[in-house]
Amino acid sequence: MVLASAPAKVILFGEHAVVYGEPAIAVAINLRTTVAIAKGKNFTVNGRPIEDKFHRYIKNSIDLLWRGDPLEIMTYSAVPSSSGMGSSASITVATVSALLHLNNALSEENVAKKSFEVEYITQGSASPTDTSTVTHGSGVLVSRKMNENFLWKIEKNGVKWYLHHLNIPSLKLVIGFSGIKGNTAMMVAKVRRFYRWNSFARDVIKEIGKITLSAVDALNNEDYETIGDLMNRNNRLLTILGVSHPKLRAMIQNASKYSYGVKITGAGGGGSIVALTDEQEEVAKAIEDAGGVAYIVEISRKGFIVEG
Mean pLDDT for all residues in the chain: 94
> What are the phi and psi torsion angles at 192 (to 5°)?
-60, -40
Strand 44-45 vs strand 48-49: parallel, antiparallel, or unpaired? Answer: antiparallel
Question: What is residue 204's DSSP assignment?
Answer: H
Domain 2-168 shares a fold with domain 172-298:
no
By residue count, the chain amounts to: 308
Angle at 124 between CA 120 and CA 126, to 5 degrees: 45
Whole-number Å distance between alpha carbons of 262 and 273:
7
> What are the phi and psi torsion angles at 72 (to 5°)?
-100, 125
Render pLDDT for 38-71 as a digit per residue (tens, 0 to 9): 999 999 999 999 998 899 999 999 999 999 999 9
Which residues of 168-271 form beta strands (DSSP E)?
172-177, 261-265
Render pLDDT for 281-308 as a digit per residue (tens, 0 to 9): 999 999 999 999 999 999 999 999 999 7
Task: For domain 172-298, give the fold.
Answer: Alpha-Beta Plaits (3.30.70)
Question: What is residue 49's DSSP assignment?
Answer: E
Strand 261-265 vs strand 272-276: parallel, antiparallel, or unpaired? Answer: antiparallel
Question: Looking at residue 114, what is its pLDDT?
Answer: 98
Q: What residue ranges do the domains of the chain occupy? A: 2-168, 172-298
Query: Which of 196, 195, 192, 229 minimizes the C-alpha distance to 214?
Result: 229
Catalytic residue among 63, 69, 130, 203: 130
Contact 31, 83 (CB under 8 A): no
Question: Looking at residue 264, what is its pLDDT?
Answer: 94
What is the architecture, at CATH level 2, of domain 2-168?
2-Layer Sandwich (3.30)
Whole-number Å distance between alpha carbons of 91 and 176:
21
Question: Looking at residue 125, what is its pLDDT?
Answer: 74
Please say if the pLDDT value at position 209 is more than 80. yes
Whole-number Å distance between alpha carbons of 155 and 124:
15
Please say if 130 is a catalytic residue: yes
Render pLDDT for 7-37 as a digit per residue (tens, 0 to 9): 999 999 999 888 888 999 999 999 999 999 9
